[in-house]
A and B are shown apart, each in its own frame.
Chain A
Amino acid sequence: MKFGVVFFPGSNCDQDCFYVIKDVLRQSVKYIWHKDADLDGLDCVILPGGFSYGDYLRTGAIARFSPVMKSIAGFARKGGTVIGICNGFQILLEAGLLPGVMLKNRGLHFICKHLFIKTENNQTRFTNFYNTGQILKIPIAHNEGNYYIDAAGLKGLRDNNQIVFRYCSAAGEVSDRFNPNGALDNIAGIINKKGNVLGMMPHPERSSERELGSQDGYFIFKSIVKWLKTQKAW
């Protein structure tokens, strides 16, 4: 399977994503500079974390206008698999490829720590390796992870099972107490209606090797490969 890791001026999690795909997942992967519009032959596009354009104006607001984003919009329209992690998620939101917006963390602190998220929907191409409700230990590192959408939007997400991950306790309790940033409905990750674009604030690429504290996030990448293989079987 061919993965592409997009990077913008200011992205800094591209190398971790590249490394996990190449050396842990052992799939073909290449970097895509934000000015390249060529996604030919790719099965999955990763928008990694970081501080694209220094988060100037609003995080992801400028990156969304890079040439590569037009190609990614077309790729997503045709059903291509896209995963946006942290800043990548923020870019997808600004680009309108996912609904909603990120506000500053309610505590106004940049939070960098391991926490737990619950798999609310394991019927997606990103979560098929997990059991329903499976709890993942995974790190976050962000200042703007306070997900917000209006009431109608939230109802839409719930009705269409678009909420994929929620912040929770180690035992799986979803409540405000275990919400690190104030995100609406404890939302940590969502998919679009079609189910081919995922955005998540926690970093699965930093939760892919036991030596770094957890391997729980790795199965998101394995799920993608598993799903892609079922498509290619035809």
Chain B
Amino acid sequence: MLRAEIYILLKRTVADPQGLTVKRALESLGYRDLADVRMGKLVIIKLNSKDKKRAQQQIDQMCKKLLANPIIEDYHFKIKEE
């Protein structure tokens, strides 16, 4: 069993009002040193396979095809054995 953790984030150049709102909420709780807050997605995919190389290719394809919109999102992932 392989476990992939995929992080999908808005590109640096894309405005993130959600992140800004959360930053303000944290500041209202008293946190003062916040430089920036951005919201992203974490997708966890478990694969019934042990072929790590093939899994990397598949996960990358999944990100390109569906999980991330390349116009506004970047992604990175790591795959571990479970």
Chain A positions near chain B (C-beta within 8 angstroms):
57-58, 61-62, 65, 94, 100-101, 103-104, 106-108, 148-150, 182
> Which residues of chain B have C-beta atoms less than 8 A from A149's C-beta?
71
Partner of A108, one of B18, B66, B69: B18
Shortest Cβ distance from B26 into chain A, in angstroms? 16
A53 to chain B, nearest CB (A): 12
Interface residues of B (CB under 8 A from A): 14-15, 17-18, 21, 66-67, 69, 71-72
Bound Cα distance A107, B17 (Å) = 7
Query: Are B18 and A103 in contact (CB-based, < 8 A)?
Result: no
Residue of A nearest to B41 (CB): A57
A-B contact pairs, 14 of them (CB 8 A): A65-B66, A100-B71, A101-B69, A101-B72, A103-B72, A104-B17, A104-B18, A106-B15, A106-B17, A107-B17, A108-B18, A149-B71, A150-B71, A182-B15
Max chain B Cβ within 10 angstroms of own Cβ: one of A58, A61, A108, A182: A58
A122: min CB distance to chain B, Å? 29
Q: Which residues of B contact A108 (CB under 8 A)?
A: 17-18, 21
- A104 and B72 CA atoms in complex are apart in Å by 12
B69-A94 in contact (CB<8A): yes
| Nearest chain A CB to B66 CB, angstrom units | 6
Please name all residues of chain A whose beta carbon is closer than 8 Å to the beta carbon of B15 when the two chains form the complex: 103, 106, 182
A52 to chain B, nearest CB (A): 14
Contacts of A106 in B (CB 8 A): 15, 17
Q: Indicate if the CB atoms of A148 and B72 lie closer than 8 Å.
A: yes
A61 touching B69, Cβ below 8 Å:
yes
**Bound-complex Cα distance A57 to B62 (A):** 13
Bound Cα distance A101, B15 (Å): 13
- Chain B hits for A58, CB < 8 A: 69
Given A108-B21, A148-B72, A103 contacting B14 (CB threshold 8 A): yes
Report the Cα distance A103→B17, complex, angstroms.
Answer: 10
A149 to B13, CA, bound (A): 12
Closest chain B CB from A147 CB (angstroms): 11
Nearest CB of A to B15, in Å: 7
* Residue pair A148, B18 in contact (C-beta under 8 Å): no
Cβ–Cβ < 8 Å partners of B66 in chain A = 57, 61-62, 65
Besides A62-B66, A100-B71, 16 other A-B contacts (C-beta < 8 A): A57-B66, A57-B67, A58-B69, A65-B66, A101-B69, A101-B71, A103-B14, A103-B72, A104-B18, A107-B17, A108-B17, A108-B18, A148-B14, A148-B71, A148-B72, A150-B71
